Structure 1
Amino acid sequence: MDYLLVIAVVFLSLFGLIMIFSASYPLAIWDLDPPRYFFTKQLQFFGIGLVLFAFTCIFPFRVYGKLSPIFVILSIILLIAVMIPGIGVERNHSQRWLQIGSFVFQPTEAVKLAMIIYFAYIYAKKQEYIDHFWKGVMPPLFILGLVFMLILKQPDLGTATIILLPCGFILFCSGARKIHLVLLGSIALGGIAFLAVTSPYRLERLFSFHNPFADPDGNGYQLVNSYYAISSGGFWGRGLGNSIQKLGYLPEAHTDFIMSIIMEELGIFGLLIVICSYLFIMYRGIRIAQYSTQPFPKLLAIGLTFQLIVQAIFNLGAVSGLLPITGVPLPFISYGGTSLIMMLITAGILVNLSRYTNKVENKKKHPSVEAN
């Protein structure tokens, strides 16, 4: 088992708990009274996620592939249920949540994992005819298109794109022909660009991302205050707990924009901690894929790794103004129970794959041992 990967995942989760408490206690005091409200909730989710992380570290990963069609069917059912009045929960003009009793969760977090497992499993089985466009490449893409459109109805183009990209990485690494990849990539980029510029609220986000100071009290308000938080942090930051922007200035300070608070309180040093942790996870994930000898674990490791990294890039790009704001949480760090639990399950499956690839790596490094 890749224990260094385990340490990196647990470290990021614990670091996120500390920063959630720091970023959320003013809001908790004003709205909910207990200053540790968000921290306590996230700690409970971390406990659940840690149990599931341990379980997925040892559960036979091949079973996930066999169950992947069921996962996809359940994903489609959940995405349809979100749009049903009385079942789906609307927040901030978006209908992305389901509520069961007092428990509210976001189905798209589970859909991300389901689609990666499905794509890895199907394209691993289609290796013999991966050169054939209609027989080898296209069938899983019809399912991806349906899932993409259902998420787009919520509306949530950011999450839909995040699901699209890791699946594209899996297809790229499956051995598909370059002409097919170029064709599909062009269609996907053109479609996303069309959806971005034809929707009024998405177009407003694009303009505010391009020049937030043109409307600092409107569409650019969140990004402008993110800039203030980042710029005031310097190298070492104001000190843990000393953020000013979290005192009602920066919306979503403990969720989507928690990185801004990290940089305000811990400075560039805090940014380096986070980025180096993600780079380390990416390195270990690519290494696991590299030493996988069979198509399914190789493609699955690639998909899981890049799903984590792409989501981190989207979040970090949004808070820094390099990418449009999409409402994507920072993996392991942002507040959100569904996100944290699914990220820990994703990491657990990746650690599980390392249990098999490490044996192959050791044989390559020490062939004399195997010969003896």
Structure 2
Amino acid sequence: MSVAAADRPRRTARGSAVTRQLRALLDRPNAPYLIILGSAGLLVVLGLVMVLSASSVESYRTTGSSFSYWRKQAVFFAIGVPVLFFCSRLPVKVWRALAYPALIFSGVMLALVQVAGDAAVNGNRNWITVGGVQIQPSEAAKLALVLWGADLLARKHALLDQWKHLLVPLLPVSGCILLFVLLGNDLGTALVLMMLVLSLLFFAGAPFRLFVAVLGAGGVMAAMLASTKSNRVARLTSWLSPSADQAGYAYQALHGRLALGTGGFLGVGLGASREKWGTLPEAHNDFIFAIIGEELGLLGSLVVVSLFGALCYGGYQVALRSSGRFEHLAAAAVTTWLAAQTVINIGAVIGLMPVIGLPLPLVSAGGSALLSTMAAIGLLLSLARSNARAERAAAV
């Protein structure tokens, strides 16, 4: 028998031992908490570094300082850290008590955007200035809809075998929130909200035929919305045939892919991007993943994708380990929100989806998005802590 053949059982045994140890670590009560905290923390820190790099040229061009955009992001990060910590310490009953106030507040703010909102930016009217600070209420609406929808379906759990209780008032109220968002021409956020509501129905145990019907109706509505605006039709057309409109709607997507291709495996080096010199629009925001690919290469891009994968794994583990209905639904909805937004953003950058203008969670520039996402991470951590306490108590 050859030496390699003799050594194969030992390698198999070592591999099995490593697998068992890894499973034991992942099965620990606090494993989801640590995975969520670690991956989210690394993504936020990476976001601060990449926003500084990606925005430096545009910031200098518009303000005379390479650090102006980054300072704003750093301020929101400084606010977001205590927000995340505070949210992670809130008991589940407090989160449920906040469900209706959060929904009402976000609805009022969304309505105010249509009445006294700021001027449209890139065709979207989603911002309002409060106390000298520009905020985006649609970001807060995501978290509000998670809390309200999870609380509603948890309270009606015994009645969810009846379609009217499963869909009413969830769909009508969600539809109103969606309408306000769509009035601001923000199709990207509307798609994320649709996915969020669908995840609530799915994890609430909606019958497959009903889930398919709602998903189909949502798909038809998204297609209709995409075809009702000339700029959306142009974006779809340029996505299907980018070479036909290289200087128009396909310009951003093509330069995003050029940045990714230029990066190669290891990248051109942190801060050495060429596309950020005014060539790639929204380099520090919707297309920051392109700058990551250019400066940090394929290796850095895969690390970012892996961190998002770990974050979503931890979030869904919280949902699967939760014994309470609210905890189960809220964790699943938040994780689906983050997963959907990540897939849509990266998919647009690499060319698998049309560009619809969504930031990369925790990484892209944007104060409202960062704060709402960090609050949502705080909710996941709070639910993970609750699960860990329950698992430890059951093990005693």
TM-score band by shorter chain is over 0.9
Q: Distance in 2 between matches of 1:218 and 1:135?
A: 47
User: Over residues 7-58 of structure 1, what are the superposed CA-to-partner deviations in whole Å (9 max), with x where a residue is unaligned?
Assistant: 2111110100001111111111111111111111111110100010000010
User: What's the offset of the Cα at 1:222?
Assistant: 0.5
Contact kept in structure 1, 2:98 and 2:147, CA below 8 Å: no
Contact kept in structure 2, 1:46 and 1:340, CA below 8 Å: yes
Of residues 289, 298, 302, the one that matches 2:319 is: 289
AA matched with 2:208: K
Contact kept in structure 2, 1:285 and 1:305, CA below 8 Å: yes
Of residues 264, 280, 286, the one that matches 2:310 is: 280
Q: Does 1:354 align with 2:376?
A: no
Contact kept in structure 2, 1:137 and 1:176, CA below 8 Å: no
Of residues 43, 49, 55, the one that matches 1:24 is: 55
RMSD of aligned alpha carbons:
1.4
AA matched with 1:242: A
Q: Distance in 2 between matches of 1:6 and 1:89?
A: 37
Tell me what 1:145 maps to: 175
2:249 aligns to what SS in structure 1? coil
1:95 aligns to what SS in structure 2? coil
Of residues 202, 214, 235, the one that matches 2:265 is: 235
AA matched with 1:11: L
Q: Distance in 1 between matches of 2:50 and 2:140?
A: 24
Q: Distance in 2 between matches of 1:167 and 1:63?
A: 22
User: What's the offset of the Cα at 1:67?
Assistant: 2.5
Of residues 286, 290, 302, the one that matches 2:332 is: 302
Unaligned runs of 5+ in 2: 1-29
Q: Which stretch has the larger CA shift, 18-27 or 58-67?
A: 58-67
2:235 aligns to what SS in structure 1? helix
Contact kept in structure 1, 2:235 and 2:249, CA below 8 Å: yes
Tell me what 2:40 maps to: 9
Contact kept in structure 2, 1:291 and 1:360, CA below 8 Å: no
Unaligned runs of 5+ in 1: none
* Count of residues paired in the alignment: 365
Contact kept in structure 2, 1:82 and 1:89, CA below 8 Å: no
| Misfit runs of 4+, over 3 Å | 359-364
Tell me what 1:88 maps to: 118
User: Over residues 222-263 of structure 1, what are the superposed CA-to-partner deviations in whole Å (9 max), with x where a residue is unaligned?
Assistant: 011111101111000101111100001000000110000000
User: What's the offset of the Cα at 1:362?
Assistant: 4.5
**CA radius of gyration, larger in:** 2
Tell me what 2:153 maps to: 123
User: What's the offset of the Cα at 1:102?
Assistant: 2.3
TM-score by length of 2: 0.89
Contact kept in structure 1, 2:113 and 2:126, CA below 8 Å: yes
TM-score by length of 1: 0.95
User: Over residues 159-209 of structure 1, what are the superposed CA-to-partner deviations in whole Å (9 max), with x where a residue is unaligned?
Assistant: 111011022111111122222212212211111112212322211111111
Of residues 164, 169, 184, the one that matches 2:199 is: 169
Q: Distance in 2 between matches of 1:101 and 1:179?
A: 48
Tell me what 1:37 maps to: 68
Q: Distance in 1 between matches of 2:122 and 2:316?
A: 37
Q: Distance in 2 between matches of 1:282 and 1:361?
A: 21
Contact kept in structure 2, 1:238 and 1:266, CA below 8 Å: yes
Q: Distance in 1 between matches of 2:387 and 2:191?
A: 30
Q: Distance in 2 between matches of 1:361 and 1:242?
A: 48
